[in-house]
Structure 1
Amino acid sequence: MKVIDTDIPDVKIIEPQVFGDDRGYFMETWNQQKFEELVTGKPTQFVQDNHSKSKKGILRGLHYQTENTQGKLVRVVAGEVFDVAVDIRKDSPTFGQWVGVYLSAENKRQLWVPEGFAHGFYVTSDEAEFVYKCTNFYDPKSEKSIIWNDKCLSINWPIDNDCDFILSEKDNSGETIKESKCLKSKR
């Protein structure tokens, strides 16, 4: 496993070692010991796995939970997405900054989005299947959404024009980062 730093030190890109030949390929997608040693530097327990499928132009997010915050290890098993993590920890030196990474079945990259981050993605291929491990259970009562086009964040989504994407009603009515209930770091 190769771990790549991003502009936000706590967010990491993970490239698995892929062994392939004319029959196909093999890769290890999860290893507790390596993940804790190379990515988080501390014990990390995942309690829930999720799998979603979306069509081209779907934008999901930016989601976070105010209680039972979740760290997420995300990857794409079919298609491609532009994946975004936004630091919403009020006392963080990178508060309000974001990282955007293309994740695809082809590049096999994963993104570690720690607790204290809002997360979202935009589907750039005809379809995409997105899988992720979570460090806490989904808590619908504390789920919030930051609006995708918050001017304070200035996320550079790969959208040609505002007509080329589809949002849920919940995501379309998200708050700005200034209006949101941002989190305190757990350090």
Structure 2
Amino acid sequence: MPPSFRFERDHPEPCAGVDEAGRGPLAGPVVAAAVILDRRRLPHGIDDSKKLDEPAREALYAKITRVAGWGVGIVDVEEIDRLNIYHATMLAMTRAVDALGIEPGMVLVDGNALPKWRYPATALVSGDALSRSIAAASIVAKVTRDRIMHVHDADWPGYGWRQNKGYGTPEHKAALIRLGPTPLHRRSFAPVAQLCLSI
């Protein structure tokens, strides 16, 4: 069953969906997106980004960003290490909604926690599978972060970031041991911290 507008219809317009990408990787930023969909111009096929392959996400990203209101919030590695990943994610979500440029009547957030912000908001567990606005945000956040990691893959070859996007795959961990950490590795994350201690 694809995500619907059931939750959006229960709240004042404009209703924004918010989701993040990149909480778990060992390297790279955490990225959040906020999307306000135009119900008269809905791209077909919007779904939880995890259920879509990369070409489908890219195609939907192009359609969503052409017809919807959207904003992106990025929190870099230095901020993640200083704040911790939970607070960094909350900050990325706040930046994403701020970047919309309009005040939402309600914000639907994927997960079970909300940032401490001024916006009226509701947290929805598995929201990217329930709300079409959150699903659209999941696509924008994922594609934005993947593109960032593609650029960093060229800057720091050998870690396989074009394929693993900074997640702790066996190949990435082996490269981390072989090549050492880069400035884009999260030193507050255990596998990177342990390696740094042993160098």
TM-score, shorter chain, exceeding 0.5: no
Q: Which has the larger radius of gyration?
A: 2
TM-score, length-scaled by structure 1: 0.26
TM-score, length-scaled by structure 2: 0.25
